[in-house]
Amino acid sequence: MRIIRLKEVIDSTGLARSTIYKYIAEQSFPKPISLGDRCVGWLESEIHDWILTKVAERDEALG
């Protein structure tokens, strides 16, 4: 299990910081984990699963 920081989430998803937090507010993106004062991270596996879900949604729409 690995916790990744915002920069890596941005690099992995291609989303902007503001979009990530918008999706979190809409409950359509994994919630961050508090790592301390003003410090959060995400479980890498949850980000990976979110990406796979987006791919599946795309494939469903095409098929």
| Number of domains the chain is built from | 1
pTM of the model: 0.92
Give the range of the structural domain holding residue 17, as residue numbers without chain letter.
3-62
Answer yes or no: is pLDDT of 63 > 90.
no
* Tens-digit pLDDT profile for residues 1-54: 999 999 999 999 999 999 999 999 999 999 999 999 999 999 999 999 999 999
CATH number for the domain harbouring residue 10: 1.10.238
21 to 3, 8, 61, 63: CA distances (angstroms): 17, 15, 25, 30
pLDDT for 19: 98
Q: Coil, strand, or helix at residue 43?
A: strand
In angstroms, the Cα distances linking 13 to 31, 38, 46 are: 15, 22, 12
